Amino acid sequence: MNNLSIKNKLYIGFGSIVAIILLLLITAYNNFASLTDANRWDRHTMEVLLQIDRINSVSLQIQVDTRGYILTGSEALIGTERENAEQLKQHVAKAVQLTADNPQQNERLKRAQALLTTWADVNIRRQIEKRRALGDAKGAAEILGQSSELKEAGAIVASARELLDQATEEERRLLAERSAKAVDLHSSQNALLLGGGAVVFVVSLLIAYALGRVIMGPLANLTAALARLGSGDQVARIVVTSGDELGKVSEDFNKMAQQLQDATQREQAQTNELRAKVDSLLGVVARAAGGDMTGKISVGGEDAIGQLGEGLQRMFDNLRQLLTNVQKAGIQVTTSATEIAASAKQQEATGVEQAQTSVEVLSTTKEISSNTSQLLKTMEDATAVADYTTSATSEAQGNLRRMDQTMQNMVNATDSINAKLAALSEKASNINSVLTTITKVADQTNILSLNAAIEAEKAGEAGRGFSVVATEIRRLADQTSVSTWDIEQMLKEMQSAVSASVMGMDKFSEEIRRSVGEVRQVTDQLSGVMDQVQKLAPQFDAVLQGMQAQAVGAQQITETMMQLNDATQQTVESLKATSEAVHQLQYAAGDLQSSVSTFAVNA
C-alpha cells in the first residue's frame, strides 16, 4: 500500500466507493423487478376473477331467461339464448386459457367448462323444447316446474357454480399470498436503501480519512525536516516509509541534506589542516632559533604553505649538513691526534722492548753455542749405535732364512705322512671286506653245525660221535664269530684313529704354512729396517756439519744484536719529541669540537 503512487491510491479510494454504490443500485433494481412481477401476477388473478364473475352472470342470465320463458312462454325472452350460450362458452374458454399456468385451477375450470357446455347446449335446450311443445296449455309452467329436466339442469349448474366458487376461492387465496409477499419486498427495499446509503456514507468517510493520512503524513514529515534544516540542524533526515512520489521527494531531500553536511565537514577539515601546518612550521622554526636543528618539517604540497615549508626544510637541511661536516672534521682531527699519540707511545714501548729482546737474544745465542757442542758428542754416539744395529739386523735376516727353509721341509714331511695315512685307510677297508667274508663263512658254519647236530640226533645212537663233532664245529664257528667281531672293532678304532691323524696333520700343515708366511713377513720387515738404518749414517754426518755452521752463525748474531741495540736507543729519543707535538694538536682539536657542539644536528 505504501509503495503505490498517489494517483493509484486515489483511484483505489474512489473506485471502491463507486463499486459499493453500483452494488447497491443493482440490488435495488432487482428488488424493483420482483415488485413489478408481483403486480403483474395480481393483475392476472384479477382477470381470472373477472372472467369467473362474467361466467356466473352469463349463466344466471341464461337461467333467468329460461325460467321467464317457462313461466310466460314468451319467445322474446329466449331470443338472446343462443348468443348468451356463445358468450358463456367464450368466457369459460378464456378462463381456462388464463389458468394454464396453474394445473389444479385449470382442471377445475375444464370440468366446469364441460358441465356448463352440456348444460347450455343440452339441458336448457330440452327445457325450451318441452315448453314449446306444451304451447299455451294450462298448467304448462307447473308441469315444467315439476319436470325432471328442470331439476337435472339445476343440479348441473349448481355443481358448476360450486367448482367456480372453489376456483374463485383459490384465486383469492393466491392473491392474498402475493399481496403479503409484495409487502415484504417493499419493506426489504426500504431497508436496503436505508442501510446501503449508511454503508456508502461510512465507507466513503473511512477512505477519505485513509487517503488523507497516506498523503498528508509524509508531507508533514517533509515540512518538519525542511524547517529543522533551515534552522541549521544538519543531521535532520526524513524516515522514508512509502514508495510513492512523496517517498522519492523524501529520499532526494535526504541526499541533499547529506551533501550539505559533507561539504561543511570538508571545509572544517581543511581549515584545521591549514592551522596544524602553520603550527608545525612555527614549532620547528622556534626550535631552530634555540639552536636545535633536529626539527623536521612535515608540511608539503603545492600551496603557499607547502612551498614555504619545503623552502624552510631545504634551508635547515643545508645548515645541518654544514654543522655536521664541521663536527665530523673536529672529531676526525681529535681521533687522528689521539691515534698518533697512541702509536708514538706504542713505538716507544716497542723500542724499549727491542732493547730487552736484544739482550735476551744475546744470552740465548751463547746457550746455543754450548748446546751445539754437547749435541755433537751425542750424535757421534748415535752413529755408532746405528752401525751396530745394521750388523745385528743382517744376522737376524740370515737366521730367518734358515728357519723358512726348515718350515718348508716340515710341510713336505707332513704331506708325505698324509699320503701314508691315506694308504693305511685303504688297507683297513680291504681288511673290512675280508672280515665280511669270514663272518659269512662263520655264520654258514654255525647253521651247518646245527643241521649236523639235528641229523646226528635223528641217527640216534649211531650219530652220537657225529653229534660231538657237530658241537665242536659249532664252538669253532662261534669262536670265529667272536674273533671276527673283535677284529672288526679294532679295525674301526684304527680307522677312526687314522681319520683323526689325517685331520690333525691337516691342521698342523695349515699352521706351518701360516708360520712360514709370518716368518717371511718378519724377514721383509727386517730388510726394510736395515735399509733405513744404513741410510741413517750419512744423515748423521750432515747434521754434524750443520751444527758446526750453527755455532759460527751464533757468534755473528751476537755482534749484529749489539749494533741493533744502539739504533733502538736513538729511535726512542726521537719518539718522545713526536709525542710532545701530538699533545698540543689534541688540545686544539678539543677546543674546535666544544665550540661546534652547541648546535644539535642529529635527531
Partner 1 sequence: MKVLVFHIGADRYGLPLRQVRRVLPLLELKGIPLAPDSVAGLLNLHGDPMPVIDLSRISGGPPSRKHFDTRIVVADYTSPEGAVHALGLMAERVQGVQDVAPQDLAPSGVQAAPFLGRVAGDAKGMVQLVEVNQLLPAELRARLFPAEAAAG
Interface residue list for partner 1 (CB under 8 A)? 439, 443-444, 446-447, 449-451, 453-454, 457-458, 471, 474
Q: Are 223 and 249 in contact (CB under 8 A)?
A: no
Contacts 24+ apart (CB under 8 A), 576-582: 576/348, 578/340, 578/344, 579/341, 579/344, 579/345, 579/348, 582/337, 582/340, 582/341, 582/344
Contacts 24+ apart (CB under 8 A), 162-170: 163/108, 163/109, 163/111, 163/112, 163/115, 164/52, 164/55, 164/56, 164/109, 164/112, 166/108, 167/48, 167/52, 167/95, 167/99, 167/105, 167/108, 167/109, 167/112, 168/49, 168/52, 170/104, 170/105, 170/108
If the CB atoms of residues 483 and 548 are measured against partner 1, the closer one turns out to be 483
Closest separation between CB of residue 431 and partner 1, Å?
19
CA distance 68 to 64: 6
If the CB atoms of residues 365 and 449 are measured against partner 1, the closer one turns out to be 449
Supply φ then ψ for residue 316, to 5 degrees.
-60, -40
CB atoms within 10 A of CB 384: 11
- Give me the residues paired with residue 292 across strands: 600
- Determine the residue type at 396: A
If the CB atoms of residues 52 and 452 are measured against partner 1, the closer one turns out to be 452
If the CB atoms of residues 306 and 465 are measured against partner 1, the closer one turns out to be 465
Q: Are 236 and 228 in contact (CB under 8 A)?
A: yes
Lookup: cell for 578: 713526536
Angle at 19 between CA 14 and CA 22, to 5 degrees: 130
Closest separation between CB of residue 439 and partner 1, Å?
8
Q: Single out the residue of 381, 373, 392 nearest to residue 540, CA to CA.
A: 381
If the CB atoms of residues 150 and 442 are measured against partner 1, the closer one turns out to be 442
Lookup: cell for 66: 329460461
If the CB atoms of residues 245 and 457 are measured against partner 1, the closer one turns out to be 457
Q: Which residue matches cell numbers 626544510?
A: 313
If the CB atoms of residues 337 and 456 are measured against partner 1, the closer one turns out to be 456
Q: Are 481 and 446 in contact (CB under 8 A)?
A: yes
Closest separation between CB of residue 470 and partner 1, Å?
8
Closest separation between CB of residue 495 and partner 1, Å?
22
Closest separation between CB of residue 449 and partner 1, Å?
8
Closest separation between CB of residue 456 and partner 1, Å?
9
- Determine the residue type at 582: V
Strand, coil or helix: what is 292? strand
If the CB atoms of residues 6 and 435 are measured against partner 1, the closer one turns out to be 435
If the CB atoms of residues 42 and 478 are measured against partner 1, the closer one turns out to be 478
Closest separation between CB of residue 478 and partner 1, Å?
8
Q: Are 152 and 51 in contact (CB under 8 A)?
A: no
CB atoms within 10 A of CB 436: 12
Closest separation between CB of residue 429 and partner 1, Å?
21
Closest separation between CB of residue 482 and partner 1, Å?
13
If the CB atoms of residues 280 and 471 are measured against partner 1, the closer one turns out to be 471
Closest separation between CB of residue 472 and partner 1, Å?
12
CA distance 480 to 498: 26
Taking the C-alpha atoms of 221, 224, 230 and 235 in order, what is their torsion angle to the nearest 10 degrees? Answer: -60
Query: C-alpha distances in angstroms, 252 versus 67, 118, 237, 276?
Result: 109, 101, 10, 36
If the CB atoms of residues 57 and 437 are measured against partner 1, the closer one turns out to be 437
The length of the chain, given as a count of residues:
603
Closest separation between CB of residue 454 and partner 1, Å?
5
Query: C-alpha distances in angstroms, 573 versus 316, 566, 567, 570?
Result: 51, 12, 10, 5
Closest separation between CB of residue 461 and partner 1, Å?
13
If the CB atoms of residues 445 and 571 are measured against partner 1, the closer one turns out to be 445
CA distance 305 to 552: 91
Query: C-alpha distances in angstroms, 450 versus 242, 246, 337?
Result: 148, 155, 142
If the CB atoms of residues 25 and 468 are measured against partner 1, the closer one turns out to be 468
Closest separation between CB of residue 450 and partner 1, Å?
4
CA distance 474 to 436: 19
If the CB atoms of residues 152 and 443 are measured against partner 1, the closer one turns out to be 443
Closest separation between CB of residue 428 and partner 1, Å?
22
